[in-house]
Structure 1
Amino acid sequence: MRLILAPMEGVIDATMRALLTDLGGIDRCVTEFVRVSQQLLPPRVFRRLCPELDSGGCTPAGVPVYVQLLGGQPSPMADNAARCAELGAPGIDLNFGCPAKTVNKSDGGAILLQEPERVGSIVAAVRRAVPAVIPVTAKIRLGFEDRSQFLDNVLAIAAAGASEIAIHARTRRDGYQPPAWWDEIARAVAQTSLPIVANGEIWSPEDARRCQLASQCQDLMLGRGALRRPDLPRLVRASLGGAPAEPMAWIDIAALLQHFFHSKRAQCEPRHAAGPVKQWLGYLRHYYPEAGLLFAGIKRLIDPVAVSAALDAHLATLQAGRDRPAAA
């Protein structure tokens, strides 16, 4: 079994990848998408979204990071994939799954699933453009409006020479509304020998097991679940390996939040520093009630000094409570 950290635009960046992979359980990451139109992008664009390129293409924990490209034309996608390879990307991922309307209107993401032949042409062009040792993977959904062309896309990608496919078990019309139709992925598994990774609605180790059984996939991709529960990859791996691990306590998550904020503060302009930690709290509060309370306390704060003080005070209170002797 492999566990892959999903690409999430504006959320899972290099800082988050470093933090989550350091907790263990993740075998690979994929960057936020690099938007490809008609031109060959300069190296700085790839390094901005994948600073790991300057560190052997891996996070500080040693987990490889594939660069994801999004675009609708084979030749520019191939040229930019070749540049990624030259810069040291350990793998190239192609985005055929983004449901965002602005992306789809610009000839990118899930809208391409309406044209399996073009999807195959893009994959084939990229495959020819990069050395054979570099994997070329694709991420898709079950379809755009419906599932009628699902297998056509899977077979086109396989025939074009891709290394594997990650399948988000919903159509673009479904968006992110539950359920994820894991059993639909099993149809693809039955039609191709290409490795397939199942994605969607995996919030717990129990969900991971159900997804494996329904999809007939051993490999899983985790996205929002890993943001709500940062130790989810480690818990899934431990549980499916037969040795369940202890979940992280909120005090440990609060320490991660503090570290995350200070990392972002060093990277952002002061007025932007609070945004990422509030965004992450928005995910964490779905699993940790304490995150909702902390979010309520800082949601109107903009000054990074005030946000830092609030996070420090919150963590200090938790530590004092943990260190307080139990009543006799």
Structure 2
Amino acid sequence: MQIALAPMEGLVDEILRDVLTRVGGVDWCVTEFIRVSDRLLPPSSFRKLAPELDGGAVTRAGTPLRVQLLGSDPLCLADNAAFACSLGAPAIDLNFGCPAKTVNKSRGGAVLLKEPELLHSILYQVRKAVPAHIPVTAKMRLGFDSPDGALDCASALVDGGAEQLVVHARTKLDGYKPPAHWEWVAKVQDVVAVPVFANGDIWSLEDWRRCREISGVDDIMLGRGLVCRPDLARQINAAKKGATVEPMGWEDLQPLLADFWLQARRKISPRYAPGRLKQWISMLTRSYPEAVALFAQLRRENDCERLDTLLGIDSNVSGFEAAV
């Protein structure tokens, strides 16, 4: 079984990747998508969203990072994929799942699921351009407005050269509305000869067990579920091994919050850093009653030093170990 951390634009940046992968249980993670249109991007475009490239393309915990590209031009994507590999990317992932309207309008993400032939062409050209030892993978939804073409799309991606598929078990039209249709993951796995990862609506151990039973696959990708419950991957790994599952309590989570905030203070403008903190704490309210109280305290606060006080940390202290 492998557990991957999902690429979520505007949420899972290098800071949250670092914090979540140090909790444990994650086998690999993916960058936010790098948009490719009609030119070869400069190194700065890759390093902006994948600063880990300058450190062996792994997080501080040693978790490998895949570079995700989004676009519709097969040759341009191929050129950029090859360039990303020259910068140190150990794997290339291609995005055919983003449901955002602005992305779809510019022929990116889930809208391409209407064109299986184009999916095949993109995978074929990227696979041909990328060194043979570097994996090329893809993430897809079940379709744009219907899952009727899901099996054709999956086959097109694998026939083109995808070595793994992550299937978000909803269509673009579904968005993130429950439920995730895990039975379609089973159907996809039946028609392709590569590992298929189930993605969507895995919030708990019980969800994982049901997903595994319905989808028939062992491999999963966790997104919002891991952001809201940072030890979910660790819990699932323990349960898979038959070990005792010890959920992370609020007191264990507080050092992670402190570290996240200290990194945000260093890397993000004071104008935007508070928003990133509130975004994560807001999502933690799903799993922790204490996060509800904390969010109520800081939701209208935008002064970084006052946020330091509310979090009970010294802004002059840096690093996770010091925060502990």
Q: Shorter-normalised TM-score: what interval?
A: over 0.9
Return the offset for 1:120: 0.8
Is 1:49 matched up with 2:35?
no
Structure 1 residue 244: deviation in Å?
Answer: 2.8
Partner of 1:152: 152
Matching residue of 2:252: 252
In structure 2, give the amino acid aligned to 1:77.
L
Matched, 1:303 2:303: yes
Corresponding residue number in structure 2 for 1:20: 20
1:237 is aligned to 237
Q: Secondary structure at the match of 1:236?
A: helix
How far 1:56 moved relative to its partner? 0.9
| Cα displacement string for residues 228-265 of structure 1 (whole angstroms, at most 9, x for unaligned residues) | 10000000110121113211110111221111111100
Question: 2:98 is paired with a residue of what secondary structure?
Answer: coil
Write the distance in 1 (CA, Å) between the matches of 2:271 and 2:223: 27
Q: Which SS does the other structure have where 2:312 is aligned?
A: helix
Name the residue aligned to 2:226.
226
Matched-pair contact (CA < 8 Å) for 1:205–1:240: no
Question: How many Å separate the matches in 2 of 1:55 and 1:230?
Answer: 24
- Alpha-carbon distance in 1 for matches of 2:263, 2:286: 24
CA deviations over 1:119-150 (Å, ceiling 9, x no partner): 11101110001011100000000000101110
DSSP 3-state at the match of 1:271: coil
How far apart are residue 12 of structure 1 and its match? Answer: 0.5
**Rg: which structure is higher?**
1
**Residue 91 of structure 1 aligns with which residue?**
91
Structure 2 portions without partners, runs of 5+? 314-324
The CA distance in 1 between the partners of 2:272 and 2:177, in whole Å, is 30
- Any unmatched runs of 5+ in structure 1? 314-328
Tell me if the contact between 1:15 and 1:263 (Cα under 8 Å) persists in the aligned partners. yes
Q: Which residue of 1 aligns with 2:175?
A: 175
Does the CA contact (< 8 Å) of 1:117 and 1:156 recur in 2? yes
Question: Percent of aligned positions with the same letter in both sequences?
Answer: 53
Q: How far apart are the structure 1 equivalents of 2:92 and 2:135?
A: 6
Following TM superposition, the consecutive aligned residue runs of length 4 or more in structure 1 with deviations greater than 3 angstroms are none
Write the deviation string for residues 63-113 of structure 1: whole angstroms up to 9, x where unpaired: 100000000110110010001110010100000000000000011000000
Matched, 1:78 2:85: no
Deviations 1:124-181 (A, max 9, x none): 1100010111000000000001011101101101111111100000000110011000
Counterpart of 1:296, as a letter, is A
Aligned residue-pair number: 313
Q: In the alignment, does 2:74 pair up with 1:68? A: no
Residues 193-228 of structure 1: per-residue CA shift (max 9 Å, x gap): 111110000011121121111111110000000011
Please tell me whether the aligned partners of residues 209 and 240 of structure 1 are also in contact (alpha carbons under 8 angstroms). no
Q: TM-score, length-normalised on structure 1? A: 0.94
